[in-house]
Chain A
Amino acid sequence: MSEMVELPMMAELLALLFFTPILASFPIAIAWGMHPRPDWARKLPVLSVAGLFVSLCVALYILFNVGELSPEAEPIKYTIQWLPEFNINFVFIFDYLSKLMGALTAVIAFLIGVYGLEYMRDDYRLGWYWFFFNLFTASMLLVVYSDNLLMLLIGWEGLGIASWGLIGHWFRDDDELSYVGILKRKVAGLNMFWSPSTGGWRAISTIRVGDMPMFFAIGALFALTGTLNISEIPWAGLEEKIGVAGVVILLVAFLMGPFTKSAQLPFSEWLMTAMTGPTTVSALLHSATMVAAGTYLFMRLSWYIQPWELHLEGYEYVYVLVLFLGLISSLYAALVATSSLERKVLLAASTMSSLGLMFASAAASYWVGKFAVLVAFWYLITHAFAKASLFLVAGHLIHETHDRFLGGDTEVARKLKWAFVATVIATIFLSGIPPFTAYWVKSGMDGVLHHLEHEFGLLPLALLVTISAIYSGFLGKFLSMNFFKGKKVHLHLHGGGIMSAAYLTMVSMLLVILAAILTSPEEPFSEFVEEGLMASSFAVGMIVLVAYAFGFFKPQIKSPLGQFFGDRMYMMFLNDYIVPKIGWAIAKVVDYGNRLIDFTCHQAIPGMFEIYSYGVRFIQNGKLERYLQIVVGFVMLIVVVAVAAGWIA
């Protein structure tokens, strides 16, 4: 399948790619733990960022030098022996998806790292932060370049542990600024605010729920096919082997991992409270790592399953499920975002909405073909840069205003003009207003979902247009509430040069992509342009523009519905009430079982033995008379038995 291409020094390059960021974070991690802490420790994060830079260089080298950059190019694989007797090896794959995704991850991680140098300067736990930040990046890169599922799992779990460490970074829970929700607020007895440590726990616990079925699915795949390389698993033969129901169960179990990682319904709550982590973490988490890992994995699977070639029933069920799960999650999150009061929670909800669209679009590939995956992938890239920029801006604003709630008037726009500029560009480019970047990609998405007319009517397309409009509306609101119509805020201006540089660079990437789309004749850009030039797409673009304007000019409407949306439709009751109740119920049952075992082993059985033992010895009263009675009685009994036995014989 793959071409045999000579890859000089590949092992060394890969070692550099994965290990430099981790090794580069050791100095700060170790120095921070020393007693007394040396003065030069606060300068060491520069080393960590240098490590990220090395990764970036390698990722860019791979992007431009390893094989051809085209969706049609054959994937190039590089294998390092691991467990050859089981056909499980470190298989690195370089294809259209992984090369772009790897470069994206490295660029974003590096820029956020630079931003973090200033943002995290005065933090109390730098060793912890940089170690997990770099581990996070390295893990994501491993997920991106893995063809082997077992190897991918290593990165996958690295993401999990690093996200727990970073979301719960401010473990002291002593800073109101790091919470999510309004402090002390309760609804129906449930706390409506979450501390960083709670946020970390919610993240890891939700993710584990999805990872467990995923482990089993991977195990089952290996048992059934004898290989774990995504590009080599005989997906078509799977359905012959285990039937339609088998394929559905296996794939849904597998996709539980991506669903939880990418916070699709009903696993969305952790993403909202992941905002308790430092803003840099949110930015990384929401753009190129973690949540993107889920959708990326689904795209990679679709890329090699090629369901559009198979037309098998089992796969169809799964893809229908993903399509509608994505669309519904997206709609839910968009509605929640319209009513969020916090800067970062609004952005978190918007991310979830975008992830839903990515899933839906990639799932449409079953009917549309590879183009749908490309649309989803390019939407991921566009979204990553825009969302990372917005988060970095939000972080900067929180830094300067000491307030995590939406707020700010034109004074903020004047005094933080680079933040303002970045926000304008990011929101406009992301919402899908013609002729900016996301418009072209979204047009492609309109086209893809329009193709589903035969199967599902216009429902998917209608959902998409609705979501796009709402999405654009709350982006307008975000701009308006932070720089025009928000409440008056008190600014504490200090520094911010490095932060501004980082997010301006980040947002400028959107312009690069726009240029690429408009000028490149390559697939899939030419199709994007083709779709974008259609009147229907332009009409959708106009709707989006109107919604954006509406959001901008009327950012706040008081209504009970808004309260309902703002409280995330009370999904937290699932996480914080129902699931714990189920857990406690199980614990109770186990406890009863435990007590039963305890009682049986420590009281019932010993008691029984004791009674019986005393009974046995009770016979011995020392009187021959009693003994003889027993003996004679027994002899009589045996005579009866003997006669009976003799009769039978």
Chain B
Amino acid sequence: MIELLASLIILTIGAALSYKDIRISLVASIVAVLVMMISGNAAYSAMILFVALLNIFSLYAMRQNQIAGLDYALVAIMAIATLYVFMVDNLAMMLVLFMVVSAPTYLLVMVSDKNLNVDVGIKYVTFMVIATVLFIIGAVLLYSTTNPLIYSLAFLMLIIGLSMEVGVAPVHEWVPDVFASADPIPVSIIASLAKFVPFIIAYKIIVATATPSLWPLLVVVGLIAAASMFVGNIGALTTNEPSRILAYSTVANMGYILATFVAVTAGKEYIYFAIAGGLLQLFVNSFGKVGYFASIKSEGTSPITAYLLTFSFIGLPPLMGFWSKLFIIYSLVYSQFIWLAVILVLNSAISVPYYIRLARLLGTGWKFNLTSAVVLFASIAMLITLIPPMWFVDLVSMMKGV
């Protein structure tokens, strides 16, 4: 707890001093995250730190924005929450963390180095409010009820809340609008760092409260996941606008991750595989989205990095995207959801053209600037799994509450 306290104090001081020089806040934010890292699981913390650093540095590329200085602190507090969620299993604390990750994005989505995007902000906040309400009610009810009717209501409320929060079809409508009209850098934060906590909390709550009578509800979850995959992948198929492609790609990716929830009643071993697959896919999505949105910001990147990101999304070994899908498919097959595994594979195939198109649209040429460096590091992160990530499954098994 002392690390948490220390990092929060550092953050507050840094943010306060940012009216002098925004670089103070930048340094303070990084230090705060590093302090928090010390207590956590090394591998998990390192990967989250990597995502957070990419987010913070890409924000530095738009330091003319309306809340410059404060934005680093917002990202840092999201990162701290994401680190902390690893070792929490109590409901109240989890719900607090959910809010802590969610609230900063309400602000971030509106900032830009030109005009404030109030219109986008309203849409986003409206969705998030409904999502948060549904999620929190669902979570509390799940912990408190034994009535099967209430249980199933609560379960699905949690799932819909989660779906709206992260952008799963058919409640994904905010995603294309926000992704297409907000500034690419805040969007990359929403698409990456903001996604971990809702999923991890949902995993923990559902694992803790799962009953054997869950089966029909899991089928509903599977159907929603499948719908999301199809909507996302086919929606992306016929557009030439990179940010729109990325929006629908997010919808599809969230579908893949939601699919892992059907494995929660399978054996312990498969739950680890399911969660490992889901989290790894979140990392793929994070690094990919950060990389692509940074490329959009800098109007092009090297074809090599663009294709590296694309191949990882498509799922070519040995890139990270291959292992995440492998784990997901493995857990689906062993929890008797073979049809969902087949749909996932089909969807991976459908996604190939637009990811290639994305690489073609963005891989137009290398530029020496900060955002290009962010793209480079994001694409290098896809190579982490050159070491076959069984270590990631072990990491998940050490997570508290699953």
Whether the Cβ atoms of A617 and B235 lie closer than 8 Å is yes
Residues in B neighbouring A641, C-beta threshold 8 A: 156, 220
Of A55-63, A309-317, A605-613, the one contacting chain B is A605-613
A624 touching B122 in the complex, CB below 8 Å, given contacts A634-B171, A646-B150 = yes
Q: How far is B213's CA from A631's CA once the two chains are assembled, in angstroms? A: 27
Q: Tell me which of B152, B213, B239, B350 contacts A617 (CB under 8 A).
A: B239
Known contacts A642-B156, A643-B152, A649-B216; A620/B123 CB under 8 A? no
Partner pick for B151 among A617, A622, A639, A646, CB 8 A cutoff: A646
Q: How far is the CB of B36 from chain A (nearest CB, A)?
A: 35
User: Once the chains bind, are B152 and A620 in contact (CB under 8 Å)?
Assistant: no
* Cβ of A630 under 8 Å from chain B: yes
Residues from chain A with Cβ under 8 Å of B237 in the complex: 609-610, 613
Pick the most buried of A624, A631, A635: most chain B CB atoms within 10 A of its CB. A631
Q: Identify which of residues 174-217 in chain B touch chain A, using a CB-to-CB cut-off of 8 Å.
A: 174, 176-177, 213, 216-217
Known interface pairs A642-B156, A646-B151, A649-B213. Does A616 touch B234 (Cβ–Cβ under 8 Å)? yes
Query: Is A83 in the interface zone, CB < 8 Å from B?
Result: no
Q: Are A639 and B153 touching (Cβ within 8 A)?
A: yes
For A624, give its contact among B126, B149, B152 (CB under 8 Å).
B126
A631-B235 in contact (CB<8A) = no
Q: Which residues of B221-251 have CB atoms within 8 Å of chain A's CB atoms?
A: 231, 234-239, 244, 248
How far, in whole Å, are A634 and B244 apart by their CA atoms in the complex?
Answer: 23
Q: In the assembly, what is the distance between CA of A516 and CA of B216, in Å?
A: 95
Interface 1/0 per residue, B144-167 and A, CB below 8 Å:
000111111101110110001000
Per-residue interface assignment for chain A, residues 628 to 649, with 1 indicating a CB less than 8 Å from any chain B CB and 0 otherwise: 1011001100110111011111
Q: Is the CB of B231 within 8 A of A616?
A: yes
Q: Which of A609, A634, A638 has the most CB of B within 10 A?
A: A638
A183 within 8 A of B: no
Bound-state Cα–Cα, A645 to B223, Å: 14
CB-nearest residue of chain B to A626: B173
Q: How far is the CA of A635 from the CA of B148 in the complex (A)?
A: 19
A454 CA to B147 CA, complexed, in Å: 93
- Known: A641-B220, A649-B152. Is A628-B171 also a contact (CB below 8 A)? no
Q: A614: CB under 8 A from chain B?
A: yes
**For chain A, what secondary structure do more than half of its interface residues adopt (helix, strand, loop), or is it mixed?**
helix
B148–A646 CB distance below 8 A: yes
> Size class of B's contact patch?
35 or more
Of the A-B pairs whose beta carbons lie under 8 Å apart in the complex, a sample of 7, sorted by A's number, is A610-B237, A610-B238, A631-B130, A631-B173, A634-B160, A643-B152, A645-B152
| Residue B127 at the chain A interface, CB threshold 8 Å | yes
Q: Interface size (A, Cβ < 8 Å)?
A: 28
> Does A182 lie at the interface of the complex (its beta carbon under 8 Å from any beta carbon of B)?
no
A613 touches B155 (CB 8 A): no
Determine whether the beta carbon of B176 is less than 8 Å from that of A620. yes
**Which residue among B155, B173, B213 has the maximum number of chain A CB atoms within 10 Å of its CB?**
B173
- Summed over the interface, the residue pairs from A and B with CB atoms below 8 Å come to a total of 89
Q: Does A627 contact B (CB under 8 A)?
A: yes
A624:B220 contact, CB within 8 angstroms: no
Q: Does A619 contact B (CB under 8 A)?
A: yes
Q: Which residues in chain A, 131-167, are within 8 Å of chain B measured between CB atoms?
A: none
8 tightest Cβ-Cβ pairs between the two chains A and B: A646-B149, A616-B235, A646-B152, A627-B173, A649-B213, A613-B238, A649-B148, A642-B153
Evaluate contact between A646 and B153: CB separation under 8 angstroms: yes
Interface flag for B134 (CB, 8 Å)? yes
Given A609-B238, A614-B238, A645-B217, are A634 and B156 neighbors across the interface (CB < 8 Å)?
no
Chain A residue nearest in CB terms to B150? A646
CB distance from B175 to the nearest CB of A (A): 9
Chain B neighbourhood of A643, CB < 8 A: 149, 152-153
A641 vs chain B, min Cβ distance (A): 6
Whether, in the assembled complex, B104 has its beta carbon less than 8 Å from a beta carbon of chain A, the answer is: no
In the bound complex, residues from chain A placing their C-beta under 8 Å from that of B152 are 642-643, 645-646, 649
Query: Do A612 and B234 have beta carbons less than 8 Å apart?
Result: yes
In the assembled complex, the Cα of A610 lies from the Cα of B147 at a distance in Å of 45
- CB contacts (< 8 Å) of A634 on chain B: these are 160, 170-171
Residues in chain A near residue B174, CB distance under 8 A:
627
Q: How far is the CB of A144 from chain B (nearest CB, A)?
A: 57
| Complex contacts, A639 vs chain B, CB 8 Å | 153, 156
Chain A residues whose C-beta falls within 8 Å of the C-beta of B127 in the assembled complex? 627, 631
- Tell me the minimal C-beta distance from A412 to chain B in angstroms: 79
Q: Known pairs A642-B153, A642-B155, A647-B149. 11 more at Cβ < 8 A?
A: A609-B234, A609-B238, A609-B350, A613-B235, A616-B235, A617-B176, A622-B177, A635-B134, A645-B216, A645-B217, A649-B216
Q: How far is the CB of B108 from chain A (nearest CB, A)?
A: 19
Flag B239-269 by CB within 8 Å of A: 1 or 0 each. 1000010001000000000000000000000
Residues of A within 8 A of B148 (CB): 646, 649
Is the CB–CB distance between B156 and A638 below 8 Å?
yes
Cα(A649)–Cα(B213), bound, Å = 6
Smallest beta-carbon distance B117→chain A, Å: 13
> How far is it, in angstroms, between the C-alpha of A631 and the C-alpha of B164 when the chains are bound?
9
With A610-B238, A641-B220 as known contacts, state yes or no: A627 contacts B123, CB within 8 Å.
yes
Asked whether, in the complex, the Cβ of A624 is within 8 Å of the Cβ of B123, the reply is yes
Of A613, A614, A622, which is in contact with the most chain B CB atoms at under 10 Å from its CB? A613
Which residues on the B side are within 8 Å of A646 (C-beta)? 147-153
> Are the C-beta atoms of A631 and B149 separated by less than 8 Å?
no
Complex CA–CA separation, A643 to B213 (angstroms): 14
Q: Given the complex of chains A and B, what is the CA–CA distance between A635 and B137 in angstroms?
A: 14
Q: Which residues of chain A have C-beta atoms less than 8 A from B147's C-beta?
A: 646
Q: Contacts of B173 on A, CB cut-off 8 Å?
A: 619-620, 626-627, 630-631
A641 vs B218: C-alpha distance in the bound complex, in angstroms? 12
Asked if residues A648 and B216 are in contact (CB atoms below 8 Å), the reply is: yes
Contact A613 B176 (CB under 8 A): no
Distance, CA A329 to CA B171, complexed state (A): 79
| Cα–Cα, bound, A616→B175 (Å) | 13
Residues of chain B lying within 8 A (CB to CB) of residue A624:
122-123, 126
Tell me which of B176, B234, B236 has the highest count of chain A C-beta atoms within 10 A of its own C-beta.
B234
- Complex formed: what's the CA distance from A265 to B72 in Å? 92
Chain B residues with Cβ below 8 Å from A609 are: 234, 237-238, 350
C-alpha gap A148/B130 in the complex (Å)? 82
A619 to B216, CA, bound (A): 29
**In the complex, chain B residues whose CB is within 8 Å of the CB of A610:** 237-238
**Contact mask for chain B residues 130-143; partner A; CB cutoff 8 A; 1 contact, 0 none:** 10001000000000
Distance between B211 CB and nearest chain A CB, rounded to angstroms: 8
Interface of chain B residues 75 through 129 with chain A (CB within 8 A): 122-123, 126-127
In the bound complex, how far is the Cα of B155 from the Cα of A238, in angstroms?
A: 68
Shortest beta-carbon distance, A643 to chain B, in Å?
A: 7
CB nearest to B147 among chain A residues = A646
Residues of B within 8 A of A631 (CB): 127, 130, 164, 171, 173
Contact with A along B327-371 (1 / 0, CB 8 A): 000000000000000000000001000000000000000000000
Distance in angstroms from A259 CB to nearest chain B CB is: 50
Question: Which A residues are in CB contact (< 8 Å) with B238?
Answer: 609-610, 613-614, 617
Q: Tell me the minimal C-beta distance from A624 to chain B in angstroms.
A: 5
A630 CA / B163 CA spacing, docked (Å): 14
Closest chain A residue to B171, Cβ basis: A631
Q: Give Cα distance in the complex from A642 to B157, angstroms.
A: 9
Give the nearest-CB partner of A628 in chain B. Answer: B126
Instruction: Give the residues in chain A near B155, CB-CB below 8 Å.
Output: 642
Complex CA gap A641/B236 in Å reads 29
Q: How near does chain A come to B316, taking the closest CB pair, in angstroms?
A: 23
Question: Chain A residue with minimal CB distance to B159?
Answer: A638
**What is the bound-complex CA distance between A32 and B177, given in angstroms?**
77
Chain A residues in 8 Å Cβ range of B123: 624, 627
- Quote the shortest CB–CB distance from B285 to chain A (angstroms): 19
Q: Are A630 and B171 in contact (CB under 8 A)?
A: yes
B331 to chain A, nearest CB (A): 22
Chain A residues within an 8 Å CB radius of B170: 630, 634
Which B residues are in CB contact (< 8 Å) with A626? 173
CB nearest to B231 among chain A residues: A616
Closest-CB distance, B171 to chain A (whole angstroms) = 5
